[in-house]
Chains A and B, each alone.
Chain A
Amino acid sequence: MIEVNQLTKRFGTQTAVDSLSLQIPAGQIVGFLGPNGAGKSTTLKMLTGMIEPTSGSATICGFDLQREPIEVKRHVGFVPESGAVFESLTGLEYLEMVAALYGIPSGAARARIEQFITFFDLSFETLTDKLLGAYSKGMRRKVVITSALLHNPPVVFFDEPLDGLDANAAVGFKALIQTLAREGKTIVYSSHILDVVERVCHRVIIIDKGKLLLDGKPEELVAQHNSGTLEKLFTQLTGGDELERRAEDFAKTFRA
């Protein structure tokens, strides 16, 4: 479903993603992890055609990212970390606009929007009367998730999707992506909430400084490295094992 081959992105002299290669089959939920600045968002933006790779290639659903970017975009859904929306549109106007960009007929689009309203427990009045700028962060996130799934894409990229969602919505969302995966959709899930990743994802990919560090099933990786939890494994790999000592040093500055 997703094939990435030596994908590289350089910004001037800085290499954000360094010869990344991976394959993700249909129906898999993949946790895409890494510390801040590891290159996760850059990778996702390349795979969704938002930025151009410096070198390397990728195919999604058989479509080449560089030769057929529009086809790739038609087959992916993306929830960006920023959760950006056009704030001066109402929720309904925004979702109808997105539906139109994918060529979804108005009737079908409204039916799908209706389903998402029910799923996320949004009120219809909010969706039609309030501008998105007046929504809470969580509500905006729900609209963004809806807009990514509206065209029923076979591949969905989520970049910190739970950011701003309340506990109920987060639980519902986790159930949703598991259902979507069972129906054959490929989910790439980038998050810093590692216990959720551990519970939800079939596979975990950890990158740091643009390079692939680990790739495998969460339970197998944890067992191989004898780390107990995915969180501990992550901190071991990405240089976070000294955090407690650094926190102590930080506190010392205030004591002084």
Chain B
Amino acid sequence: MSEKPPLLASAMSAPTSKQALRKLFLTLFLRGRGARGLQRSNAPKSVGQKLFLTLLFYLLFGCMALTMSQQPVFALAIYLHAMTFAFLSMFVAASAGEILFNKEEADILLHRPIEPKTMLWAKIRVLVEISLWIAFAFNLAGIFAGLGAPDGGWRFPIAHIISTIFEALFCVGCVVLVYQLCLRWFGRERLEGLMTTAQVFVTIGAVLSAQILPRLVFRFHHVLTASESSAWIIFLPPAWFAGFDDALSGSATPLSWLLGGMAAAFTVIVLWLAFGKLAHSYEAGLQVLNETARQPKRRGRRWLEIFVNAPPLRWWLHNPVERASFLLTAAYLFRDRDTKLRIYPGIAPMLILPFIFLMQSSGNAGSFGVAFSGGYLGLIPLIGLNTLQYSQQWQASDIFRSAPIIGPASICHGARRAILCLLTLPVLIFFALLCIFIHPQVSTLWLLLPGIVTLPVYALVPAAIGRAVPLSSPIEEAKSAGRGLTMVLVMFISIGLSFLASFAWDGGWFWEFFVIETTASIVVYFFMRALLNRVRWKSAE
């Protein structure tokens, strides 16, 4: 061995397993778990830089609270806590499954002398720590806004910091509790499937809760106070924490005291249940993930194969490669825990906005809401394909390169058609039914068409730039900023088209607009398709 620097530094005492685990999970969280195949430059070794950028984003986003500096404490706190609740719940829901029940870490840690409770606490501590950083970054501007509130003052920052800590603990506790209850009620065998469902529902609940409350603030023309609120506000958790702020530093009405009391009581109850009463379920959950039980025979695969090999799908999927790629994508969408945990909770929040627009558009001026719902659906294939590109099993995609296929086009076509068929179509049907329910006149459904015709184009966006080969990239590469920009661009185009469609509908020239849009979509589609068909495999380095 060549000459090396002295490895033996100082003979320090051993860190405890608690400290070692906390450091481990924090590092893993910030760097990501899978670094296999990453270039050194891509590997997120710079923990501080990544954290700084994330917190800066939340800090800047939180500055919107400054526009509410002249509002009562309760209105401001409702906004701050609703948004914090959404951010934290989504963050915890997205991270908890991976952090709490990571299958890969079983082989590394389960044979080490660590109490399951110690491991659980180390993970929870990391989740709470990061939640608090996010919460404080987002709430920093709001704290200053609260100082200037008509009924606010110096007590607001103190009250708000305490309530935000409660809120972070509550969010983490709730998500952990959901997993523990799934284990307890449905058994260890069904844990993996339930985790995805639980995560999707937590995400939807969080986003809905966060969307409803700020709208309530606007409904009351920004002067909502605890005393003016409807009684049902007590069912929305962010309102409890806002009540805590209002009780200690605002109007201190009986309702705000009640809400504040609920915030403290429910936080304590959730923590006790999640980390005290049900903590022993955690060990059972870890062990079951490590057991390689024989899977029951699956019957779903057969019908899908029949479906793919029969018209009309067979006409759409031109060759065996496209059909194989369709089936592969379907298998991962339905079976792979990692893929499911990223795709469905990723799509869920995107559906909330069109849902809310649709609900709000039940009046006469509802054309934009329907058109927007249709246009926004374009994001689903985009998110689906972008997410599907990343997998822990990305090295298996070498088989695509070693097969006698000149480029990734056929594989991309199969994958995007699976996403359109299995992911986008059900959502589209759901929104169409919702439209019929909200707008009894069926003619309104035509407004969904401008969105629908753009779906094939949006689904080609990731593929046309040669990046949508399913399951072909390490998960850590998913964090590049380029994808975010594409998403924002597509979102703006969708909103623009929805606005035009709505304007055309109200102006009586909807069908002319639709013909032009369809023609343009067809041209763009064939152009992008030709672009994709010309893509060749890049050198796999």
Contacts and interface: CB of A to CB of B under 8 A. Distances in A.
Contacts of A14: 293-294
Contacts of B44: 88
A88 B34 contact: yes
Contacts of A121: 1
Contacts, number: 152
Contacts of B296: 12
Nearest to A108: B11
Interface string A192-211: 00000000000000000000
A133 B17 contact: no
Interface in A104-141: 104-111, 113-114, 117-118, 121-125, 130-134
Given A101-B21, A131-B38, A134-B38, A107 B287 contact: no
Nearest to B114: A101
Nearest to B39: A134
B27 A103 contact: no
B43 interface: yes
A49 B111 contact: yes
Interface residues of A, number: 55
A51 B10 contact: no
- Most chain A CB atoms below 10 A, which of B23, B24, B115, B189: B24
A106 B23 CA distance: 15
Contacts of B539: none
Nearest to A129: B40
A157 to B, nearest CB: 8
A70 B38 contact: no
A97 B113 CA distance: 13
B7, B14, B36, most chain A CB atoms within 10 A: B14
B36 A50 contact: no
B219 interface: no
A158 interface: no
A130 B109 CA distance: 21
B292 interface: yes
A88 B111 contact: no
B258 to A, nearest CB: 46
Contacts of B15: 100, 106
A31 interface: no
Contact of B113 (A99, A102, A125, A133): A102
A100 B17 contact: yes
Contacts of A118: 1
A73 B17 contact: no
B9 A97 contact: no
Q: Which of B4, B45, B104, B107 has the most CB of A within 10 A?
A: B107
Contact of B10 (A12, A45, A101, A107): A107
Interface in A47-100: 48-52, 70-71, 73-74, 76, 78, 80, 82, 84-89, 93, 97-100
Q: Which of A11, A100, A118 is the most central at the interface, judged by chain B CB atoms within 10 Å of its CB?
A: A100
Contacts of B2: 123
A114 B404 CA distance: 47
A191 interface: no
Contacts of A98: 112
A42 interface: yes
B14 A99 contact: yes
B10 A73 contact: no
A129 B218 CA distance: 53
What class of interface size applies to chain B in its complex with A?
35 or more
Contact of A117 (B1, B45, B110): B1
A82 B38 contact: no
A85 B108 CA distance: 6
Given A11-B293, A133-B34, A74 B113 contact: yes
A76 B111 contact: yes
B125 interface: no
Nearest to B17: A101
A73 B118 CA distance: 15
Nearest to B293: A11
A111 to B, nearest CB: 6
A41 B1 CA distance: 35
- Of the candidates A48, A50, A114, A124, the one having the most CB atoms from chain B within 10 angstroms of its own CB is A50
Nearest to A9: B291
A128 to B, nearest CB: 8
Given A86-B24, A103-B14, A133 B43 contact: yes
Interface in A15-53: 41-42, 45, 48-52
Contact of B20 (A88, A100, A117, A124): A100
Contacts of A51: 287, 290-291
B7 A114 contact: yes
Interface string B1-38: 11011011111111111011101100110011111111
B31 A88 contact: yes
A155 to B, nearest CB: 11
Given A51-B287, A70-B115, A73-B111, A86 B12 contact: no
B522 interface: no
A71 B113 CA distance: 7
B8 A107 contact: yes
Given A88-B31, A103-B14, A105-B11, A73 B107 contact: no
Residue of A88, A98, A99, A107 ringed by the most chain B CB atoms within 10 A: A88
A4 B370 CA distance: 67
Contacts of A84: 104-105, 107-108
A133 B1 contact: no
Contacts of A87: 33-36
A132 B108 contact: no
Nearest to B19: A100
Given A50-B290, A123-B2, A131-B35, A88 B28 contact: yes
Interface in B53-108: 104-108
* Among A11, A14, A93, A130: residue with most chain B CB under 10 A: A11
Interface string B259-274: 0000000000000000
Contacts of B28: 86, 88-89
A48 B11 contact: no
Given A45-B290, A117-B1, A105 B14 contact: yes
A122 B1 CA distance: 8
Contacts of A100: 14-17, 19-20
A70 B17 CA distance: 13
Contact of A48 (B8, B105, B111, B114): B111
B33 A86 contact: yes
A34 B105 CA distance: 26
B293 A133 contact: no
Nearest to A157: B111
B35 A106 contact: no
Which 5 residue pairs are nearest across A and B when measured between Cβ atoms?
A107-B11, A133-B35, A100-B20, A11-B293, A124-B4
6 contacts: A76-B111, A86-B108, A105-B12, A114-B7, A122-B1, A133-B34
Given A89-B24, A98-B112, A107-B11, 9 more contacts: A11-B294, A51-B291, A86-B28, A101-B17, A111-B8, A117-B1, A123-B1, A123-B4, A130-B40
